[in-house]
Structure 1
Amino acid sequence: MAGQPVKRNYANATLDYLGARYMGVGSEVCSYTTQAVQIPMRDGINLEADFYSPELPDKDSPAGLIMIQCCYGRSAGISFINARIFAARGYQALFVSTRGTYGSGGTFDPGSNEQSDSQDIVVWMRQQAWYPGSFATLGPSYLGYSQWALLHDPPEDCVAAVIPVSPHDQASHAWNTDRASWSDMMSRPADEKGSFFSRLWHLPGLSFLRPVELEKAVEGLPLEASLQKYFGHRAPWLFEYLKHPDVEDSYWASRRHHISLERANIPILLVSGWYDTFTRQTIHQFRTLHERGVNPNLIIGPWTHVQGSGLHSMPEIMDFLAEHVAKTGEYNRSQVRVFVTGSEDWRSLPNWPPPSNPTVLYLQAQGGIGLTLPTQGARPSAFVFDPLDPTPSIGGNQMSGGGRVNDSVYADRMDVLVFTSEPVTADIEIMGCPFVHLMHESDPPFADLWVRLSEVDTDDISHNITEVYQALDPARDMSQPLKLTLQDCAHRFRVGTRVRLIVGGGFFPMYARSLGTAENRVSSDKAVPQRHTLTIAGGVSQLVLPVAAND
């Protein structure tokens, strides 16, 4: 079934013009029409979609077809960046609402149906008179996840993909508080969600504006019961996540698409941000594809999740589509482009990470860190993490409220350890993954560790660079050093700045806090403070920086 094509109105034309100008893309080449269509699935339900068709002279053909699957609706703000901006530059665009969302039939169960539904969309497209014989896929975040689901069994006529800030594996991002705010948005009726602008607080990246009631639910103990009281019968998937903490559980099988990285054989543009919640997965995608010789392109900017979704990379996306879909242009950028924080410039590279030399900085007594090996008599450093007054999550790789921030407040807290170097006397550029060796003990053994690398500038203000969070194995051998690998970064410590390492036992509310007991952390209300101790003597606790080989 299909409705009548509708010409673009003045309001959308104005939004298209202003949005494209903000993003720095070239001029429009045409207007377009929008046609409501229904796409049948193999189980009998229909997906609602809008088909965008460029209005071109009779002698001209569309530049190509782009397929987009979206769970966030098809309203003006969402459709602009994912469909309309391309239709106004000569592309056809099929903008499909995910199963169980915004008029599409069936039940929304995040991640479970995209693999089969995307294949059914392709079958339907091939039967349409307007189908040009090939297509590309596009879209950030959950829209990108849908692309990886399709590439589980890559269609021969899929010729390219643009995948910003997107996971291929839902299990590895099963639980943090972003999932609660995201689930709150996705579980509300479409009419309750209202217009795009009235729903801004629900959107990934802006959920720091979420209701106080939800914040209180996340803070409550037991966590599962507190969330259940807030959600009621909404968002049943959220509680399935909590019941299946093991990523190898069969529950996650349909939501993990590592096989797509082994099967995809098309040009792929990957976009991420140093402060995106999916950066680690995007870099893994690049490395796997690159090692296979697929030669994807990777862009990593100084961006959060929303910023990395295409807001700042649209010119590159347009050039990528021009070469691989329209066949009218050339994507003449290097395989890897990363923004180096600290020096605040872009760097072109043939691969990621580039060659580096490991440089060891030793944790020192009384909060120092540097090249000098501590004496055997250096006293241990310790702190206590209290789950009833948890260390707050400030900045970093959060989907909401993250990014590069002033994190100087940690230096005044008693529930973290802060190690700060003397001012560096020559620029130090790091590219890749820093890691730490920590001779660490916790009492009780049920504990988490959060480690952050920051820079203290010449005004004595600290800003975050990268970090890692790890729930520790209570059966670990505490006589052996613990190795934790921080997330990839590219940063230059300028002369006069200082290196800072922050070690804590929590990062709340981004991560569900350790309660310090053997009981399940989401179903228990028993909380025990945890004492963390780091051995400093002899240099057994250290930070290893990947200093760029040419630095």
Structure 2
Amino acid sequence: MAGQPVKRSFAGATLDNLGARYLGVRSETCSYTTQPVQIPLRDGVELAADFYAPELLDNQASAGLIMVQCCYGRGAGITFLNARLFAARGFQALFVSTRGTDGSGGTFDPHSNEQSDSQDIVAWMRQQPWYPGSFATLGPSYLGYSQWALLHNPPADCIAAVIPVGPHDQAWHTWGTGSFRLDRASWSDLMSRREDERGSFLSRLSNIPGLSFLRPSGRLEKAVAGLPLEASLQKYFGDKAPWIFDYLKHPNVDDAYWESRRHHVSLDRVKIPILLVSGWYDTFTTQTMHQFKHLHNRGVNVSLIVGPWTHVQGSGLHSTPEIMDFLAEHLTKTGKYNYPPVRIFITGSQEWRSMPTWPPATQPKALYLQEDSGIGSKQPVQDAKPASFVFDPLYPTPSIGGNQMASGGRVDDGAYAERSDVLAFTSEPFSEDLEVLGIPSVHLTHASDPPFADLFVRLSEVDAQGVSHNITEVYQALDPSRDTSQPLQLNLQDCAHRFRVGTRVRLIVAGGSFPMYARSLGTAENRVRSEKTAPQRHTVTIAGGVSRLVLPISAAA
């Protein structure tokens, strides 16, 4: 079933042109119409969608078809970047609302139905008179996840994909560190109140570049801070967002519950050209970098762009011209994507760098933790005193910037060095530039009392004025039965940073990052169901250089 095509309005054209000019996209080649359609699925559910058709001359062919699946409505903000810009340049676009959202039938159960539903959408497309015989997929974040779900069983006529800031494994994001990722609560809050007293969900999405509505409300902040966490969230959500309580019940990423929400097999099956876009401060950077490395090692035609961006900034706001060129090449074979396989932004030197792959060749450089809160190339003496701090779950160490969904990014994180529940190891100023490209690692001979504890480790730069800014980080819930006589290795997230002459390395070690992650309670009880807490004393051995930071240094530096 389909409605009548509607021509783009003057206001819509004005918005499209102003937005395109801001993004640096080439000029429009045509106008377009929008037609509402209903897509039947095998179980009788119908999905609501809009079909964007370029208004072309009789002898012109479209530039190709783009398919988008989205759970955030079909309002102006989200469709501008993922449909309208392309329709005004000759592309067809089918923009489909996920099951249970914005007019689509069925029940919204995040990440569980996309694999099956996407195959039905493709089968329906093939029966339409406007279908050109092949298509590409597009969309960031959840829209990117939907692409990985489709590529679990890649359709032969899907010939390219653009996936900015898109995860392929929801278990990895939710419980991959061993602690519950609390942005699942703020995201679930957003999805559970698509219509509320502040206006329609679609109208709030019209300003999606700001994504301010992803920041938790005061009530939700209190709920997330409550103990037990599960009971506190139950009181807040009531019968809304039932999926979040399924998440809480399944902390094991290998549990059968997560099977339909994990698509590592897609990385083994996909053969089409793929463009990946990420930011050093994105929520899903680790997954995007894993995707690139896996596909590149398989010989897949995969390209990667990584900027100094947060999740929202990496969603296409700063890479639309490249996305347009990529789709033009692979849908129309015009050869317009003339970029190297990898383009990354080097923080510190504030420059873009082109590379044939990632990571490039590097050499390890060890910097040893010192007993005077220093860090440097000289190994400490054998009788160097250990460093320690106490993490109190009732007053948890705060999250400051980094890879948070809505309030992350590069920030002044100097407040960490002033806290008694944080160790901050700072080097002397560098006498020459030092370029770090790849995955730094931290080797800590570490113990905690009690043994139920987490570690948050961050690499930062202290500039010549003494201001500290974050570069990369890692979070890990520790195995209480681990052998604490052996160094614990933690791999931080990929980064690309040049320490200039006069700057210093700072390594931050803490026992939590709240409200980014559910805090360790310090007991053997379930961290989301217990209200019992115990402060945890962390001790890091310094003597003999057993605790160190290893930096991958550019071989060309």
TM-score per shorter chain, which class? over 0.9
Indicate the SS of the match to 1:322. Answer: helix
Of 185, 190, 204, which aligns to 1:180?
185
The alpha-carbon deviation at position 188 of structure 1 amounts to 1.6
Q: In structure 2, what is the equivalent of residue 194 of structure 1? A: 200
The alignment status of 1:336 with 2:342, answered yes or no, reads yes
The alignment status of 1:517 with 2:523, answered yes or no, reads yes
The alignment status of 1:403 with 2:384, answered yes or no, reads no
Counting only pairs closer than 5 Å after superposition, residues 204-283 of structure 1 correspond to structure 2 as: 206-207=212-213, 209-283=215-289
Q: In structure 1, what is the equivalent of residue 546 of structure 2? A: 540
Distance in 2 between residues matched to 1:329 and 1:360, nearest whole Å:
44
Q: In structure 1, what is the equivalent of residue 448 of structure 2? A: 442
Q: Which stretch has the larger CA shift, 168-177 or 263-272?
A: 168-177
Partner letter of residue 43 of structure 1?
Answer: D
Distance in 2 between residues matched to 1:413 and 1:122, nearest whole Å:
54
Distance in 2 between residues matched to 1:547 and 1:309, nearest whole Å:
29
Indicate the SS of the match to 2:372. Answer: helix
Q: Which stretch has the larger CA shift, 365-374 or 10-19?
A: 10-19
The alignment status of 1:420 with 2:426, answered yes or no, reads yes
Distance in 2 between residues matched to 1:150 and 1:208, nearest whole Å:
26
The alpha-carbon deviation at position 330 of structure 1 amounts to 2.0
Q: In structure 1, what is the equivalent of residue 73 of structure 2? A: 73
Of 478, 481, 504, which aligns to 1:475?
481
Q: In structure 2, what is the equivalent of residue 21 of structure 1? A: 21
CA deviation map 1:64-103 (0-9, x unaligned): 0000000000011111011000000000000000000000
Partner letter of residue 514 of structure 1?
Answer: S
Q: In structure 2, what is the equivalent of residue 491 of structure 1? A: 497
Conserved? CA contact 1:224–1:239, under 8 Å? yes
| Structure-1-length-normalised TM-score | 0.98
Conserved? CA contact 2:75–2:205, under 8 Å? no
CA deviation map 1:458-479 (0-9, x unaligned): 1100000000000000000011
Distance in 1 between residues matched to 2:196 and 2:491, nearest whole Å:
44
Q: In structure 2, what is the equivalent of residue 346 of structure 1? A: 352
Residues 201 and 545 from structure 1, CA distance in 2 versus in 1: closer, same or farther, beyond 3 angstroms? same
Distance in 2 between residues matched to 1:517 and 1:508, nearest whole Å:
18
Counting only pairs closer than 5 Å after superposition, residues 19-58 of structure 1 correspond to structure 2 as: 19-58=19-58
Of 453, 458, 463, which aligns to 1:457?
463
Indicate the SS of the match to 1:246. Answer: coil
The alpha-carbon deviation at position 326 of structure 1 amounts to 2.0
CA deviation map 1:341-374 (0-9, x unaligned): 0000000001100010000000001200000110
Distance in 2 between residues matched to 1:45 and 1:436, nearest whole Å:
50
The alignment status of 1:111 with 2:129, answered yes or no, reads no
The alpha-carbon deviation at position 295 of structure 1 amounts to 2.5
Q: In structure 2, what is the equivalent of residue 144 of structure 1? A: 144
Distance in 1 between residues matched to 2:118 and 2:2, nearest whole Å:
19
Indicate the SS of the match to 2:144. Answer: helix
Indicate the SS of the match to 1:112. Answer: coil
Distance in 1 between residues matched to 2:462 and 2:78, nearest whole Å:
38
Distance in 2 between residues matched to 1:515 and 1:444, nearest whole Å:
10
Distance in 1 between residues matched to 2:544 and 2:113, nearest whole Å:
54
The alignment status of 1:504 with 2:510, answered yes or no, reads yes
Partner letter of residue 165 of structure 2?
Answer: V
Indicate the SS of the match to 2:189. Answer: helix
Distance in 2 between residues matched to 1:287 and 1:204, nearest whole Å:
31
Conserved? CA contact 2:185–2:244, under 8 Å? yes
Indicate the SS of the match to 1:387. Answer: coil
Structure 2: tracts of 5 or more residues without a match? 175-179
The alignment status of 1:374 with 2:380, answered yes or no, reads yes
Q: In structure 2, what is the equivalent of residue 166 of structure 1? A: 166
Indicate the SS of the match to 1:424. Answer: coil
The alpha-carbon deviation at position 308 of structure 1 amounts to 0.2
Distance in 2 between residues matched to 1:199 and 1:65, nearest whole Å:
24
Q: Which stretch has the larger CA shift, 282-291 or 181-190?
A: 181-190
Structure 1: tracts of 5 or more residues without a match? none
Distance in 2 between residues matched to 1:366 and 1:265, nearest whole Å:
53
Distance in 2 between residues matched to 1:225 and 1:202, nearest whole Å:
31
Q: In structure 2, what is the equivalent of residue 101 of structure 1? A: 101
The alignment status of 1:11 with 2:11, answered yes or no, reads yes
Partner letter of residue 48 of structure 2?
Answer: E
Partner letter of residue 84 of structure 2?
Answer: R
CA deviation map 1:424-468 (0-9, x unaligned): 000000000000110101000000000000000011000000000
Indicate the SS of the match to 1:366. Answer: coil
Conserved? CA contact 2:187–2:214, under 8 Å? no
Conserved? CA contact 1:435–1:483, under 8 Å? yes
Residues 168 and 518 from structure 1, CA distance in 2 versus in 1: closer, same or farther, beyond 3 angstroms? same
Distance in 1 between residues matched to 2:149 and 2:505, nearest whole Å:
41
Partner letter of residue 340 of structure 2?
Answer: S
Conserved? CA contact 2:77–2:209, under 8 Å? no
Conserved? CA contact 1:450–1:470, under 8 Å? yes
Distance in 2 between residues matched to 1:246 and 1:258, nearest whole Å:
16
The alpha-carbon deviation at position 187 of structure 1 amounts to 1.2
Indicate the SS of the match to 1:450. Answer: strand
Distance in 1 between residues matched to 2:235 and 2:399, nearest whole Å:
24
Residues 298 and 116 from structure 1, CA distance in 2 versus in 1: closer, same or farther, beyond 3 angstroms? same
The alpha-carbon deviation at position 211 of structure 1 amounts to 1.5
Indicate the SS of the match to 2:340. Answer: coil
Distance in 2 between residues matched to 1:156 and 1:383, nearest whole Å:
56
Aligned length: 551
CA deviation map 1:145-182 (0-9, x unaligned): 00000001100000100000010001111242211111
Partner letter of residue 45 of structure 1?
Answer: V
The alpha-carbon deviation at position 206 of structure 1 amounts to 3.1
CA deviation map 1:221-253 (0-9, x unaligned): 100000010000000000000000000000000
Residues 514 and 202 from structure 1, CA distance in 2 versus in 1: closer, same or farther, beyond 3 angstroms? farther
Counting only pairs closer than 5 Å after superposition, residues 296-315 of structure 1 correspond to structure 2 as: 296-315=302-321
Distance in 2 between residues matched to 1:325 and 1:550, nearest whole Å:
37
Conserved? CA contact 1:126–1:133, under 8 Å? yes
Q: Which stretch has the larger CA shift, 11-20 or 505-514?
A: 11-20
Indicate the SS of the match to 1:353. Answer: coil
Distance in 2 between residues matched to 1:191 and 1:383, nearest whole Å:
44
Conserved? CA contact 2:66–2:138, under 8 Å? yes
Partner letter of residue 76 of structure 2?
Answer: A
Conserved? CA contact 1:200–1:206, under 8 Å? no
Conserved? CA contact 1:66–1:93, under 8 Å? yes
Residues 380 and 191 from structure 1, CA distance in 2 versus in 1: closer, same or farther, beyond 3 angstroms? closer
Q: Percent identity?
A: 73
Distance in 2 between residues matched to 1:400 and 1:378, nearest whole Å:
41
Partner letter of residue 474 of structure 2?
Answer: V
The alpha-carbon deviation at position 199 of structure 1 amounts to 5.1
Distance in 2 between residues matched to 1:205 and 1:411, nearest whole Å:
30
Distance in 2 between residues matched to 1:292 and 1:70, nearest whole Å:
29
Q: What root-mean-square deviation, in Å, do the aligned CA atoms of Structure 1 and Structure 2 show?
A: 1.3
Distance in 2 between residues matched to 1:501 and 1:115, nearest whole Å:
41
